[in-house]
Amino acid sequence: MQLTRSSEKGDGLTTALLSTGLAVLLVGFYLALNAPPDANQGWLVRILYLHVPMAWLCYLAIFGTLAYSVAYLVRRNPHYDRVAAVSAEIGLLFSALTVLTGALWGRPTWGVYWTWEPRLTTFAILIAVYVGYFIVRSAIEDPELRANASAAIGILGSINVPISYMSVKWWRSLHQTQTIDLTTGKVNMEPSMLLALMVNLLAFTLLYFAFMRLRGQIARYEAQRQEAAHG
C-alpha cells in the first residue's frame, strides 16, 4: 500500500487549521471567562459561549453532509461519500453536546432540563436522523449501495431540519404555552460579550474544517487499507 503525495500535502493545511482553531479557541476561552456576567442570568451566561458555537457547528455539519451527499450523487467520487459521513459524525457528536450544554443551562434558567422548544425538538429529531444514518451505514456491506443509501438519508434528513423547525414552532404557538426564547438575554449584548461569542464562533468554524480534513484523511487511509486487504 502506498500513500499518494497529494494526501500528504493536504496535511499541512489540516495542521494549520487545527492549530489556528485551537489558538483562537484559547483566546475565546480567555475572553469568555473575562466577559461580565449577564444582568438576568449572571455567570450562567458563560455556557452560551460554548453552546452557541456548538449549535453553529452542527448547522455547518448538516450543510456539509448535504453538500457532499449531493456531490457524491453527481460525481460518484467515493471520497465525497466518506467526507459526507465524516461531517455527519461531527454533526452527531456536536448536536449531542449542544443538547447537553443546553440542558445544563436550561435547568437553572428555565427550571427544566427539557422543553418542547422548536430548536431543542429539531435537534432531537436531527440526532435521531443521524443515528439512523450510521446504523444504515453499518448494515450495508456493498460500498456503492452504502454510499447511495447514506447520501439519500443525508439529503432527506437535511431537508427535514427547516420543516421540522417550522412545524414545531407553529405547534407550540398554537399550544399557548409560555414562550421561552433561547435568544432572551443576549439581544442587547455588551461589546465584550459579543466579541467573546464571535471569537468562539470563529474558533469552532476553524475546528470544524480541521476535523473534517483530519477525519476525512483517516477515512481515506481506512478505505485504502481495506482495498489493500481485499484486493
Partner 1 sequence: MPYTRVFWLAWRDLTLEFRGRAGILSVVFFLAVMLFILGLAFGPNPQDLRKAAPGVFWVALAFAGSLLANRAFGLEVEDGTLDDLLLTSGSREWIYFGKLLFQLLLLLGVGVLLLIITAGLFYLPLTAWPWYLLTLLLGTLGYAAISTFYAGMLARLRGREVLLPLLLFPLVVPVVLSAVRAMGDLATGVPVGEVASWWRLLAVFDVIYVVACGLLFPNILEG
Q: Which residues bind partner 1 (CB under 8 A)?
A: 73, 125, 128-129, 131-132, 135-136, 139-140, 142, 145, 148-149, 151-153, 155-157, 159-160, 163-164, 166-168, 170-171, 174
Distance of closest approach, residue 221 Cβ to partner 1, in angstroms: 27
Distance of closest approach, residue 14 Cβ to partner 1, in angstroms: 31
Query: Rounded to whole angstroms, how far apart are CA atoms 76 and 54?
Result: 31
Toward partner 1, which CB reaches closer, 3 or 145?
A: 145
Toward partner 1, which CB reaches closer, 136 or 223?
A: 136
Q: Cα torsion for 126, 128, 134, 135, to the nearest 10°? A: -160
Q: How far is CA 179 from CA 55, 116, 191, in A?
A: 20, 10, 27
Toward partner 1, which CB reaches closer, 83 or 155?
A: 155
- Find out whether 208 and 83 touch, Cβ atoms under 8 Å: no
Distance of closest approach, residue 140 Cβ to partner 1, in angstroms: 7
Q: Does residue 203 come out as left (phi exceeding 0), alpha (psi in the -120 to 50 range) or beta?
A: alpha
Toward partner 1, which CB reaches closer, 28 or 154?
A: 154
Toward partner 1, which CB reaches closer, 98 or 164?
A: 164
Distance of closest approach, residue 153 Cβ to partner 1, in angstroms: 7
Toward partner 1, which CB reaches closer, 100 or 163?
A: 163
182 burial type by CB count under 10 A (0-12 exposed, 13-18 middle, 19+ buried): buried
Give which of 72, 92, 73 is closest to 82, Cα–Cα. 72
Distance of closest approach, residue 35 Cβ to partner 1, in angstroms: 37
Q: Retrieve residue 225's grid coordinates.
A: 487499507
Phi, psi of 113 (to 5 degrees): -80, -30
Distance of closest approach, residue 49 Cβ to partner 1, in angstroms: 30
